[in-house]
Structure formats: C-alpha cells, structure tokens
Amino acid sequence: MKCFHFTNGERREEEEDGAVASSSRASRVSWARSFSVASSTAADTRRSEFGDSDSRDLGDSLAFYELLTQRRANDLRVFSFAELKSATRGFSRALMIGEGGFGCVYKGVVAVPGGAPDGSDARMDVAVKQLNRNGFQGHKEWINEVNFLGVVKHPNLVKLVGYCAEDDERGIQRLLVYELMRNKSLEDHLLARVPSPLSWKVRLKIAQDAARGLAYLHEEMDFQLIFRDFKTSNILLDEDFNAKLSDFGLARQGPAEGLSHVSTSVVGTIGYAAPEYVHTGRLTAKSDVWSFGVVLYELITGRRAVERNLPRSEQKLLDWVRPYVSDSRKFSLILDPRLEGQDIKSAQKLASLANKCLMKQPKSRPKMSNVVEMLGNIISELSPQDDVIPEPVETEAEEVKGEAAGETEVDSGKQGNSKLRKVFDIREIVNLRNKSTGKLDWRNWTPGLVKTW
C-alpha cells in the first residue's frame, strides 16, 4: 500500500517542511538548500542538548534541518555510488528485496574497515534503497531519512548505516544504506507471505517494540517527531523477531512549545491516517496513536486496514470489526484463523487497548508510553504455552536465481513490500474456509492463487 497526498477540496496553509515551491525556479532553490544540508560532512559534531546558539525558530524547516545536521552522528558513513553499485552487483534484480513509492531496495554486502576482531576489514549485510532518478519525487523524503535517522538512536528504530549523494550525467543518485532486517516486515507475516505464522505472544512483543519506538520519538527526545506513516509494512523484524520502525520519509517535527498541532498537507496511507488529520490537516502525536490502534487490529485479525478484494461490507477493517468487538460471543469470528487455540481473552484485552487508541477525540487517546505499559501488562498475563517463536524466514534468492541467468545464489530476507510473490503449495495455504461460519474467509485469498473453489 503506497503513500500519497490526501485531498479534501479545501485549501490549507502549507507549512510542510517550508513553503511549497510554486514555480520550477522555487523548486530548484528548495532542492539546492536541502541538498546542501544533507550532504554536509559526517564529521559534524553531535549536540546532546539545544544550546544558546540553537534558540532559533525551529518552525522554520531549513533552520531545523541545519540543527539536525549539526547533531548528526559522526559514524554515519558516506558511500560512493560505485561502492554501492558493486555491493549490489550493479543493482541486480536478483538482489531486489523490496520496492516502495520512491524506489527499489536491494540486498548488498559492504566492507567495514577494521571491523574484524583482528583489525582487518569485515563484511556487513545491508539493505540499499535507491531513489528513483527521474525527477525530484522522493528527494525530500530522502533528506528526511538522512537527517532524522542520523540523529535518532533507539533499539526499536532501524539503523541507518550511511548514504550516497552524487550527481552525474545519468542523473541524481540518492541512496540510503540500512542494517538488513532478515525477517522481513510485519505485513509479510500477517498476509501469509511466509510459511510460519506469528504466534500470539510474538505479535504482542512486536506491538510493544513498535510502541517503544513511537514513545521514543514522541516523548523521549528534546524535540518531538511524528512518524506520520505508521503501518505494518514499516515495521521490520530482525533475526530474533525484534521490531524496528523504518521509513522516516514522511516524519515531521512536532508542534513548537505552546502550540497544540502542526498545520500541514495531509500525507500517509489510506486506512491508517487519523480522521481529524485527514479532515483538517492538523497533525499531532495522537495521529500516530490512531495508526497504532489500526495496526493492533491487524495483529488480531490478520487483515489489511483496507482490502479491496473483500466484500464491500468488510473492505474497511475498522468498520468490519466494530459489531464483533462489543460482543464477547462473536469476538472469535474476527480472530485470525491462524491463532486458533491461543488466548482469546488476551486478544480481547488488546482490542480494548486498540479502542483506546482509536478514540474520536485525540486528547482522549493514551500517550505511547502508557501504551507500552499496558502492552507489558497484557504480555505478563500470558501463560507459558503461548511463548512460541516462529521459524526464521526462508530465503527467496534461490527461487530468483533460476530466472536470472548468470546470477549466483543469494541468502536474502525481504525488507518492505517485494514485487516477488512466493506461491505456496495448496496444502500450505491457510485454510480459506472459516470453520465457525462455513463461509469463505476472503482475508487470505490472493488473486491467481486459487482460480476456482
């Protein structure tokens, strides 16, 4: 599900990262300024607190980015385009592990000077995101990622290893290099793109990890960041199924002290954006809390926030679950069939927490630090039999190898949404028939997977 700008027919004041350029000349000036900030040397000192010299108006986008550049970690590595081209074997399609709205993601291996115990160079598996070269689309998102991920550091935020910024005769080369997350995204697991389903306890721990990441952005820094695009495809899982937030392209600085919100253009993903933000353009941290509530229901049901392949009455997840949540006798009808036999009372408690996050009035929604605590209470009440760790994701490179002549085998996980779809044997497909109702369970149906029933 890709991100895009929402429109509601109203004209709003645009404060999104500075004034929007209304002409090509203004666009070029904006691009030049942002590039000068992002491509400054990685040796810039990082400040732990705002000093007297930082008393500038942080509402001004350029001033804020300059401040972030000064505080950027000095371990952020600047790669050459040639290095990353070599690391991904010329951006081979056999190494492509994902595709987003602003470009493709490739698995690669880069050298780490002196990283081995004996002082020799070590090798690191990474994910390389390459921005589309045609036009300026996505450049601002690239700038956001370099600046924000170069400053924020937390176990539940994906690590930015470095970046590349080069211009040549072929166009603009903008790339980001992340740590490789071997167990793909939460979306991949919920949509049955991997053979081993997530147990209930693992789902809860993933939710808690993601909540910790948002709490850090909202409450634990000396400036607030609003993620603005929280969804299952932006929650990545490492080899131990620890969750980390990724894709800070749409992240936005929170309101300045004394202000209740930020007025900005409305961007995000349908089904996840908070209604008050969509209708008014007023952004607060509680907008992320709403999105988190949507993801909790995705964990409970195994369904997308919006699924056009379902009957009309079930296409919007929140509308579909509403009549079942309040009736304990019917609650099991919305539970992911792959969770059969697991703790339904715990799922009901998670649904209650999701409802708190989805309160109509933003002020009534809990802070993410409170959500972390409530999730901890739900996890602590689980029985030991619920502690089941899923099997690691199997590699997909062997499947690709047969289609890519001359390519060698690649041991790769998938990061983000992949264009490559694995077709499972019919015996491995989750049962499409809901046992309790005898009706087709369309949540696990994929076009082309089953032609007739």
Assess whether 39 and 96 both reside in one domain.
yes
In the chain, pLDDT over 70 holds for what percent of residues? 65
Residue 199 burial (CB count, 10 A): 19
28-81 confidence digits (pLDDT tens) = 333 333 433 343 333 332 323 323 333 333 344 555 555 555 555 556 889 999
Question: Which residue carries 């059969």 as its tokens?
Answer: 340
Assess whether 160 and 195 both reside in one domain.
no
What pLDDT is stored for residue 359 in this prediction? 97
Question: Which residue carries 């490492």 as its tokens?
Answer: 238
| Cα angle for residues 362, 364, 365 (degrees, 5° grid) | 70
Check if 57 is active-site: no
Mean pLDDT, the chain, rounded, equals 75
Domain stop point among 164, 179, 194: 179
Assess whether 135 and 199 both reside in one domain.
no
Q: CATH code at 47?
A: 3.30.200.20
Number of domains in the chain: 2
Classify residue 235: in a domain, yes or no. Answer: yes
What pLDDT is stored for residue 49 in this prediction? 31
Assess whether 333 and 275 both reside in one domain.
yes
Q: What is the DSSP string of 420-433?
A: --PPPPGGGSPP-B
Question: Which residue carries 């997909």 as its tokens?
Answer: 396
Expressed as residue numbers, the domain containing 160 is 12-179
Residue 382 burial (CB count, 10 A): 16
Residue 352: what residue type?
S
Tell me which residue of 160, 172, 171 sits closest to 128, measured CA to CA: 160
Assess whether 282 and 221 both reside in one domain.
yes
| Cα angle for residues 390, 418, 124 (degrees, 5° grid) | 70
pLDDT higher than 50, residue 419: no
Residue 296 burial (CB count, 10 A): 26
Token reading at 441: 């369970």
What pLDDT is stored for residue 6 in this prediction? 52
Q: Which helix (H) or strand (E) holds 373?
A: helix 368-380
Domain stop point among 118, 146, 179: 179
Instruction: DSSP letter for 391, please.
Output: P
89-117 confidence digits (pLDDT tens) = 999 999 998 886 678 899 999 988 776 77
Classify residue 446: in a domain, yes or no. Answer: no
The stretch 356-384 carries a mean pLDDT of 95
Q: What is the C-alpha separation between 210 and 208, in angstroms, rounded?
A: 5
pLDDT higher than 70, residue 14: no
Tell me which residue of 67, 69, 49 sits closest to 58, measured CA to CA: 67
**Considering 229, 247, 288, 336, which one is annotated as catalytic?**
229
Classify residue 451: in a domain, yes or no. Answer: no
To the question of whether residue 201 is assigned a binding role by annotation, the answer is no
Counted residue by residue, the chain has a size of 453
Question: Which residue carries 């992240």 as its tokens?
Answer: 251
Q: CATH code at 311?
A: 1.10.510.10
What pLDDT is stored for residue 142 in this prediction? 83
pLDDT higher than 90, residue 407: no
Classify residue 441: in a domain, yes or no. Answer: no
Instruction: DSSP letter for 123, please.
Output: E
Assess whether 79 and 193 both reside in one domain.
no
Beta-carbon contacts of 89 under 8 Å, excluding residues fewer than 6 positions away, are 95, 407
